[in-house]
Amino acid sequence: MERLRGFEIAKGFENKQIRLPIRKTKYSAGYDIEAAEDVVIPSFKKGMNPTLVKTGLKAYMQEDEVMMLYNRSSNPKKKGLIMANSVGIIDKDYYGNIDNDGHIMFAFYNIKEEDIIIQKGEAIGQAIFQKYLITDDDKAEGTRQGGFGSTTN
């Protein structure tokens, strides 16, 4: 069977009982993603960096596809969690990169007054695979040199 797109366990998480994402219903667009470990997300203070929540996952896909990470719809109201980047973008060439093997992480801010604890195995967001288009004059030939946030170099 040809591999088109899917999830794998990222290096360093092989023996940590990471569950591969699933869709809960036949017509769900998103695959539910869980936290790979317990993490405390501190209450927001001006100037602080977002907390990266590890998933222990990486994803492979077709050349004209992207995976988009979205927050759970209940997270802002119930837990005060918002994604720092609103939508996370996982490019095809992030998979297996030399820095972190393509490890997928969610960047959260906590807007509640108290710290929030995310427990291992707790659903934190969704991943949706999508096709994308390029312009007629596109000439991109660069290659990824690193992991998280490396395409901004």
Per-residue pLDDT of the chain (153 residues; tens, 9 = 90+): 789 999 999 999 999 999 999 999 999 999 999 999 999 999 999 999 999 999 999 999 999 999 999 999 999 999 999 999 999 999 999 999 999 999 999 999 999 999 999 999 999 999 999 999 999 999 888 765 655 555 554
Listed in sequence order, the residues at least 6 apart from 47 whose beta carbon sits closer than 8 Å to its beta carbon are: none
Which residue has tokens 């969704």?
A: 126
Convert 90-127 into a string of H (helix), E (strand) and C (coil).
EEHHHCCCCCCCCCCEEEEEECCCCCEEECCCCEEEEE
> Scanning the structure block, which residue is given the tokens 């997928």?
104
pTM of the full structure: 0.89
Q: Looking at the structure, give the CATH architecture of the domain made up of residues 6-132.
A: Distorted Sandwich (2.70)
pLDDT digits (tens, 9 = 90+) for 46-76: 999 999 999 999 999 999 999 999 999 999 9
Phi, psi dihedral angles at 66 (to 5 degrees): -140, 150
**Core vs surface per residue 11-29: b (16+ CB within 10 A) or e:** eebeeeebeebeeeeeeee
Q: Partners of 51 in the beta sheet?
A: 108
In this prediction, residue 52 carries a pLDDT of: 97
Q: What pLDDT is stored for residue 141 in this prediction?
A: 80
Distance CA 129, CA 69 (A): 9
